[in-house]
Amino acid sequence: MVYRMTAGRRALRYAAVPLTLILALSGCAGDDKPKSGETPSKSAKPAQGGELRPIASVPLNHKSAPAHVDLLALSRTAANTVTARFKIYNDGKNQIDLAESLGEPGNATDPGVGDPLAASGIGLLDAKNDNLYYPLRKKTEDLNSCVCTRLFNNPVKPGEYINVYATFSSPPTDVQRVTIVFPLAVPFQDIPITDDPVEPLKTQIDPAKVQFEKPRIAGVRSLTEGTEQTVDDDPNNRSVRLSADVLFAINKADLTPRSERLLEQVAKQIDASKGTEVQIDGHADKTGNDAINQPLSERRAKAVADRLKSLVTRQGVTYKAEGHGSKEPVATNDTEEGRRKNRRVAVTFARPPAPAPPPVSGEPYKRGSSTVLGSATFGAAEARGLKVEINSLHRDSSGLTVLVWTLRNTGQGKPDVGQKLEKSAYIHGADPQPMRLGTTGGVMLFDSANQVRYNPMSLESGPCVCSQVGSADAKKTIGPGESIVLWDAYSPQANAANLEMQVPWKRGADAVVKGLTIR
């Protein structure tokens, strides 16, 4: 299933609406209207007369022209809300139509997906609790329900800018800093939420004067893949997928001596957890038939459950063991690597508290930075001339790590990267579910010391917390001398060091940058 609506499919929602009504709801009047360009100040404080100056600035990857986004404010507002203010500048020679550029990525069949003609895709990422907050929606029968800027019929001409705002439900009070995810742009990482008053835009909705729908908050997942075990975390639970090839001999359900170390590690995590239930699920690949695989997966699940009962020291924990045969694969059964991933026992329990991240030593990415931490070229003939340059690999105070990188065309071709940087069963041995298209979700960080591969973070509904290069408005064809700035978010172990960036094309690691350090 495609995780993001195309422009045409999302527009169907409005097909029966008279043009005059759409124009009336477009929010194109007042101070959201594009204005002539100005030189942004470097100060983070409001200027005299209430004019806001940028806190941070990032590039916007739009197909029509180069552009950038300034973050002007992130402040607490009425009714337990937080409001962000931005300016989007057109730095090129062509007009930019943002009508469907900033909509929320999501499943085309999801009735709760935000207004595609508004800035509904801007998100507040609370990495401390692994939640992404989308803009609030007011209770109304109107199409324009997003408490954010509506972008229909509001193009930005060369040299001009547009004001944009979005209002969110406030994260928990102990969350003082967040990362702002902005469609087609590098995220604004580790931004403080302030109490500074901000004069609202003329078209801005006062959160004290409207009733809201239930906040749209998406859980964030992280996936750390290893040969022996894979750890899948969501905001509430942890699932440790243990390789059956390590736990058992072929067609056997007796634990091997090699399994002891792995099960001791899992038992320590269960001891650190506050949950009282542990689910153990046995799985097989499609080799043979389920007349054999089903009972074998059941016996293997029971063997792991029995051993964990003896290793876990915390009292009051119950264990439930089940077998599923080959019915629930996590990877393709067409390759040996995929079949190895499918032969597993998964142990699921309440997620234990995360260890404190290391002290912050570096700074988030800044637009215009000339820093290059490493570079590489691709092996695939189609990608000849493309160069990967690492601009930033920064871990903030929440533990969130954001990789910012440039894809530069040093050749004469015009490669299309829209579908080449995604995770797929063919080149990674694992099936992303639900199926995604057109993101940089296939860009991995490999940790040689821990022998694990960090996947970009994703939302529980599927979208990747990374660049959306397949979007209709994203620049995805890179001409000679051109470049685009991309990003991916990860949750690596605290001791992760000497990392390797692996960028897919025809292979999972077609371009490789080694020796990276989180800063």
pLDDT class for 33, splitting at 50, 70, 90?
A: low
Q: What is the DSSP string of 432-444?
A: -SS---SSSTT-E
Count of CA atoms in the C-beta half-sphere (13 A) of 149: 31
Please tell me the predicted confidence (pLDDT) of residue 7: 39
Q: In the predicted model, is pLDDT for residue 59 greater than 60?
A: yes
pTM for the model: 0.90
Domain boundary among the residues 296, 316, 350 is at 350
Residue 207 and residue 83 in one domain: yes
Q: How far is it between the farthest Cα atoms of the chain?
A: 77
Q: In the predicted model, is pLDDT for residue 22 greater than 80?
A: no
Residue 209 and residue 254 in one domain: no
Average pLDDT over residues 414-427: 91
Q: Is residue 360 a part of any domain in this protein? A: no
Give 244-274 pLDDT, tens digit per residue.
Answer: 999 999 999 999 999 999 999 999 999 999 9
Please tell me the predicted confidence (pLDDT) of residue 6: 39
Q: Which of 400, 399, 406, 396 is nearest to 374 (CA)?
A: 406
Residue 241 and residue 209 in one domain: no
Q: How far apart are CA 346 and CA 16, in angstroms?
A: 48
Q: Which of 94, 102, 28 is nearest to 64 (CA)?
A: 94
Give 207-242 pLDDT, tens digit per residue.
Answer: 999 999 999 999 999 999 999 999 999 999 999 999
Q: Is residue 361 a part of any domain in this protein? A: no
Beta carbons within 8 Å of 496's beta carbon, 6+ residues apart: 445, 447, 449, 450, 454, 518
Residue 112 and residue 255 in one domain: no
Phi, psi of 268 (to 5 degrees): -65, -35
Q: What is the DSSP string of 5-71?
A: --HHHHHGGGTTS-HHHHHHHS--SGGGS-EE-----S--SPPGGG----SEEEEE-BSSS-EEEEE
Domain boundary among the residues 285, 317, 350 is at 350
Q: Is residue 486 a part of any domain in this protein? A: yes
Total Cβ atoms within 10 A of residue 101: 27
Q: How far apart are CA 70 and CA 59, in angstroms?
A: 9
Return mean pLDDT, the chain: 89
Q: In the predicted model, is pLDDT for residue 510 greater than 80?
A: yes
Residue 116 and residue 83 in one domain: yes
Please tell me the predicted confidence (pLDDT) of residue 298: 97
Q: Is residue 171 a part of any domain in this protein? A: yes
Any idea what the CATH number is for the domain that residue 300 is in?
3.30.1330.60
For residue 182, CA distances in Å to 122, 187, 251, 444, 467 come to 5, 6, 49, 21, 10
Please tell me the predicted confidence (pLDDT) of residue 435: 72
> In the chain, how many domains are there?
3
For residue 477, CA distances in Å to 93, 386, 418 come to 18, 11, 8
Q: Is residue 383 a part of any domain in this protein? A: yes
Q: In the predicted model, is pLDDT for residue 483 greater than 70?
A: yes
273-277, 288-292, 429-433, range with the lowest pLDDT: 429-433
Pairing relation of β-strands 131-133 and 123-126?
antiparallel
Give 296-340 pLDDT, tens digit per residue.
Answer: 999 999 999 999 999 999 999 999 999 999 999 988 888 888 899
pLDDT class for 424, splitting at 50, 70, 90?
A: confident
Residue 317 and residue 413 in one domain: no
Q: In the predicted model, is pLDDT for residue 457 greater than 80?
A: yes
Residue 336 and residue 414 in one domain: no
pLDDT class for 436, splitting at 50, 70, 90?
A: confident
Q: How far apart are CA 433 and CA 3, in angstroms?
A: 9
Residue 69 and residue 199 in one domain: yes
Residue 392 and residue 246 in one domain: no
Give 328-347 pLDDT, tens digit per residue.
Answer: 998 888 888 889 999 999 99
pLDDT class for 11, splitting at 50, 70, 90?
A: very low
Residue 283 and residue 325 in one domain: yes
107-111, 199-203, 365-369, range with the lowest pLDDT: 107-111
Please tell me the predicted confidence (pLDDT) of residue 8: 41
Q: Is residue 247 a part of any domain in this protein? A: yes
Q: Is residue 2 a part of any domain in this protein? A: no
Any idea what the CATH number is for the domain that residue 396 is in?
2.60.40.10
Q: In the predicted model, is pLDDT for residue 23 greater than 80?
A: no
Q: Is residue 467 a part of any domain in this protein? A: yes
Domain boundary among the residues 350, 384, 400 is at 350
Highest mean pLDDT, choosing among 26-30, 42-46, 402-406: 402-406
Higher pLDDT, 37 or 191: 191
Residue 106 and residue 155 in one domain: yes
Q: Is 302 helix (H, G, I), strand (E, B) or coil?
A: helix
Please tell me the predicted confidence (pLDDT) of residue 2: 32
Domain that holds residue 294: 237-350
Residue 27 and residue 157 in one domain: yes
C-alpha distance across the termini of the chain, in Å: 37
